[in-house]
């Protein structure tokens, strides 16, 4: 899946005294089946850019194209549909729902699709098995270690079979060993045909041989393109 950004700009609190431009004109292309890392200091705009690519928010101006089709400007309903089927998200703090079991958390993104329950459960269990979590399926997520929670988040991101995986600071809550393990998993996902976008300022990630392309951001622009 080819993703193209054209002159993306994003403002928060536009028109108010506290107006803030998080993205100030970014044009980029992400090639399919590649691992791209957006690196930069905190506040450089990488997470905002990732949320725009993943249809979690809209740019103030500019266009996002997916395989040549313009996404920005579509109504919420369509954006949700695209987000659901095209993108899988792995969040910095994992964002698993406490109190639910591991398998329920994994199945959660598929609930609004109304799939056959047995098939959905089998798919979730298959993913858990692949990520060596089969024995934890019935446990509540609070019982998991950081690495396990991260892998559950990956399973959840993959449940709807997305082509693009978006990971926001995925190693922020992991130690070096677990970070390396995660990069190994990401390598496996790339080999299975996924396009992967990661934001990180962790050298374990952007220096990893798994990453094909590193893009540095600074003050809402691509590094080296601003004044």
Query: 35 vs 59, which CB is nearer to another protein?
Result: 59
Residues 6 or more apart in contact with residue 144 via CB below 8 angstroms: 96, 102, 136, 152
Give the contact letters, 55-84, x = binds to another protein (CB under 8 A), - = no.
Answer: -xx------------------xx--x--xx
Pairing of strands 213-218, 221-222: antiparallel
* Residue 177 CB, nearest approach to another protein (Å): 26
Q: Is 191 in the site for another protein (CB under 8 A)?
A: no
73, 99, 146, 193: which one binds another protein (CB under 8 A): 99
38, 44, 89, 174: which one binds another protein (CB under 8 A): 89
* Residue 200 CB, nearest approach to another protein (Å): 14
168, 174, 186, 211: which one binds another protein (CB under 8 A): 168
Count the Cβ atoms, other than its own, within 10 Å of residue 109. 19
Q: What angle do CA 171, 181, 173 make, to 5 degrees?
A: 20
Considering only residues 136 through 165, tell me which ones interact with another protein, judged by CB under 8 A. 156, 160
**With helix as H, strand as E and coil as C, how does 67-136 read?**
CCEECCCCCHHHHHHHHHHHEEEECCCCCCCCCCEHHHHHHHHHHHHCCCHHHHHHHHHHHHHHCCCHHH
Contact positions toward another protein, by CB under 8 A? Answer: 47-48, 50-51, 56-57, 76-77, 80, 83-84, 89, 91-92, 95, 97-100, 104, 108-109, 111-117, 156, 160, 168
């Amino acid at each position: 899946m080819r993703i193209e950004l054209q002159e993306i700009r994003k403002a928060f609190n536009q028109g108010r005294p506290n107006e803030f431009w998080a993205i100030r004109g970014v044009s980029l292309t992400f090639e399919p089946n590649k691992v791209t890392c957006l690196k930069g200091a905190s506040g450089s705009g990488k997470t905002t850019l990732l949320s725009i690519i993943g249809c979690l928010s809209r740019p103030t101006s500019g266009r996002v194209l997916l395989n040549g089709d313009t996404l920005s400007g579509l109504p919420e309903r369509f954006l949700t549909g695209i987000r659901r089927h095209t993108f899988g998200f792995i969040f910095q703090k994992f964002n698993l729902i406490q109190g639910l079991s591991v398998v329920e958390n994994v199945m959660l993104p598929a609930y609004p699709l109304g799939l056959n329950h047995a098939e959905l459960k089998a798919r979730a269990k298959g993913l858990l098995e692949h990520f060596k979590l089969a024995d934890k399926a019935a446990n509540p997520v609070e019982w998991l270690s950081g690495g396990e929670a991260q892998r559950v988040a990956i399973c959840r991101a993959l449940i709807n079979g997305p082509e693009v995986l978006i990971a926001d600071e995925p190693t922020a809550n992991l130690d070096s060993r677990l970070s390396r393990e995660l990069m190994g998993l990401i390598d496996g996902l790339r080999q299975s045909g996924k396009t992967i976008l990661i934001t990180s300022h962790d050298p374990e990630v952007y220096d990893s041989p798994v990453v094909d392309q590193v893009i540095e951001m600074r003050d809402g622009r691509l590094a080296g393109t601003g004044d």
